Structure formats: structure tokens, C-alpha cells
């Protein structure tokens, strides 16, 4: 009981900040128009500085581990196949099937995972977290976006969608921040002292602002979700199933594959916990934006993100207790 209270003492402030952002947006203390500005600050200023610093201090062997990539992509491939296949058998469109699969396998590792796992473990445990973030941004998201346009013709086909997804990866500052940090660490490059202090200040602001922004984005998505159009095939009522896949099946599958790698001597046992905890995180909030952009039911995806974030306070804390 004492150990569990110690875990809650670490996890509670993180989820409390998410709740603060949610309530601030719901009662309009934070104008909905301001949420985009908060999101841009985190995405383009604070979070890249934090990822740059950790990328510079993380061994390249952890950042670019083929073992982590295989474990993560293997688990994602199985869950995408199960989730998308289940939805398609129940009459869902390809966009709904693909975005439902993406929200089931893409954890909120950037905005929430890095600061939370850092607080629970140590900076030495962040390698697997950032390695999975690179895989999700470059591979998982691109594949699901291409899948969302399967069967479409012309400019809306999967090849065009995949090209747009790769363009989005190139414009996303998070993978570039990790790569630049890794390059700086490998070459021993150090920022000019005043610039380094500026980067440190922005990095220190990333955790609280990112968590607050998650809550605000969830509230905005819930408040702006409109009624489904009559001419669109309705997505299946599978929100509960996707939440279960994200919070329980995904970490269990990653643990099984990771444990097999540890037993085979291909992966250190000490890094299994952060890898599993990354999978145990709630769904990434940016999937809601992708669902809207590629013609999926945004309300369904937003509910998955909201419910998984709320329930993760308990499920993620339980995962921490089990892994300890």
C-alpha cells in the first residue's frame, strides 16, 4: 500500500495538470482559440528543446536500437491488423478503420511519456521512449494514413496519402530535435552558453505546459465534435474495445515481445520497464487532428483519447506497480 501511494504521488500531478487544462477549456477560462497557440508553443518551442537535450545525453545505441524498432513495430502491426480488421468486418470505412487502429497503438509519448517516465525512473530510461516516438512518427503514422485512403482513387489514394504523411513527418520538429540532439551528443557539440540557457528554460517549461495543453485539446475536441453527417458511413461503436487495446493489450504485447528479447540476450532487462510503460500511456492527442484531416469519425477518436487519458491514471499506475 505504501508503494502504491508512492507511485500515485508521482503520477497524480501529471494527470492533475491534464485535468486542469481540460477544466480550464470546458469552463472557457481558457478561450478555445488560445488552445492552438498553446499547442504550437509546446510543439515548436518547448518540447523540441527538451527532446534535443535528452537526445544529446542518450546513447545512440538506445535511440536507434533495431531491437526496440522490431518490438514496437511488431506489436503495432498486430494491433493495427486486429483493430482495423474488426472495424472493417463491421462495415467501417477505411479512414475509420485506419484511424481507430492508429489511436489504439500510438501512445502520448511526446507530450506525456517523456516527462512522466523521467519522473518515475531516470534520464537513463528515456532512450526507449524516444526510440518508439521516432518509430511512431515516421512509420506507424505514415502506414495508417496510407491505409486510411485504401481503395480511394486519384489524388485521394493511399500513395498520395502516404506522401502527405511523409511530408508531415519532415515538418514535425520532434524527430528532428531528437536527431539533432543525438548528433550533438555524438560529436561533443555544445551550444553557446546563452543559447544553451535559453534552450534549458524552454525545455523546463515543456512538461507542465504540455500536460495542461493535452487537457485543453481534449476539451476542445469534445466540445467541437459535431453530429455525424448523413452521407458518411458511421464508424462502429468500438470505443471501449480500442481503449482496452491501448491501455491493456498494447503494453502486454510489448512486454511479451520485450521479455522474449531479454531472454534471448538481445535487450537489457533494465530497459524493458520504460518500453512497456511507454505502451501503457494513453492515446496520442494528435490522432484526433489526423482523423479529421483524412475523413474519419473524429468524435469516435476523440472519445478514445479522452477515456484512455482518464483511465490511464489508474491503469498506468498499476503498470508501474507491476513492473517494479
pLDDT band at 1 (very low <50, low <70, confident <90, very high): low
Q: How many structural domains are present in the chain?
A: 1
What's the Cα-to-Cα distance from 11 to each of 240, 249, 318, rounded to whole Å?
23, 21, 11
Distance CA 129, CA 182 (A): 14
171-180, 233-242, 287-296: least confident range: 233-242
Q: Which domain holds residue 92?
A: 2-226+235-323
Bridge partners for 283 per DSSP: 107
Distance CA 246, CA 147 (A): 19
94-103, 225-234, 275-284: least confident range: 225-234
Burial class (CB in 10 A: 0-12, 13-18, 19+), 197: exposed
Question: Which positions ≥6 away from 31 have C-beta within 8 Å?
Answer: none
Q: What digits encode the pLDDT tens for the residues 108-138? A: 998 899 999 999 998 888 999 999 999 999 8
CATH of the domain at 160: 1.20.1530.20
Q: What digits encode the pLDDT tens for the residues 193-234? A: 999 999 999 999 999 999 999 999 999 888 876 555 444 556
Mean pLDDT of the chain: 89
Percent of the chain with pLDDT over 70: 91
- Matching residue, cell 469516435: 300
Distance CA 251, CA 105 (A): 10
286 or 257, which is more confident: 257
Amino acid at each position: 500500500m505504501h508503494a502504491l501511494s508512492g507511485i500515485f504521488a508521482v503520477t497524480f500531478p501529471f494527470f492533475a495538470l491534464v485535468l486542469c487544462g481540460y477544466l480550464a477549456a470546458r469552463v472557457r477560462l481558457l478561450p478555445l482559440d488560445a488552445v492552438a497557440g498553446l499547442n504550437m508553443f509546446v510543439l515548436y518551442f518547448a518540447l523540441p528543446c527538451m527532446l534535443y537535450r535528452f537526445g544529446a545525453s542518450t546513447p545512440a545505441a538506445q535511440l536507434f536500437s533495431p531491437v526496440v524498432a522490431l518490438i514496437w513495430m511488431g506489436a503495432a502491426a498486430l494491433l493495427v491488423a486486429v483493430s482495423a480488421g474488426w472495424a472493417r468486418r463491421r462495415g467501417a470505412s477505411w479512414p475509420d478503420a485506419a484511424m481507430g487502429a492508429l489511436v489504439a497503438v500510438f501512445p502520448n509519448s511526446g507530450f506525456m511519456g517523456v516527462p512522466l517516465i523521467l519522473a518515475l525512473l531516470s534520464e537513463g530510461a528515456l532512450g526507449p521512449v524516444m526510440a518508439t516516438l521516432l518509430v511512431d512518427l515516421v512509420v506507424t503514422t505514415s502506414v495508417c494514413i496510407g491505409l486510411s485512403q485504401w481503395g480511394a482513387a486519384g489524388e485521394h489514394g493511399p500513395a498520395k496519402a502516404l506522401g502527405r504523411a511523409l511530408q508531415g513527418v519532415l515538418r514535425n520538429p520532434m524527430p528532428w530535435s531528437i536527431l539533432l540532439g543525438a548528433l550533438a551528443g555524438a560529436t561533443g557539440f555544445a551550444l553557446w552558453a546563452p543559447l544553451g540557457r535559453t534552450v534549458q528554460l524552454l525545455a523546463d517549461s515543456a512538461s507542465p505546459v504540455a500536460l495542461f495543453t493535452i487537457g485543453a485539446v481534449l476539451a476542445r475536441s469534445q466540445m467541437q465534435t459535431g453530429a455525424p453527417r448523413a452521407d458518411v458511413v458511421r464508424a462502429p461503436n468500438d470505443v471501449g474495445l480500442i481503449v482496452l487495446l491501448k491501455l491493456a493489450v498494447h503494453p502486454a504485447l510489448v512486454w511479451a515481445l520485450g521479455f522474449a528479447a531479454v531472454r534471448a540476450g538481445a535487450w537489457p532487462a533494465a530497459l524493458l520497464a520504460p518500453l512497456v510503460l511507454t505502451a501503457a500511456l494513453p492515446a496520442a492527442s494528435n490522432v484526433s487532428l489526423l482523423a479529421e484531416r483524412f475523413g474519419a469519425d473524429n468524435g469516435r477518436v476523440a472519445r478514445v483519447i479522452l477515456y484512455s487519458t482518464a483511465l490511464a491514471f489508474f491503469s498506468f499506475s498499476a503498470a508501474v506497480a507491476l513492473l517494479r
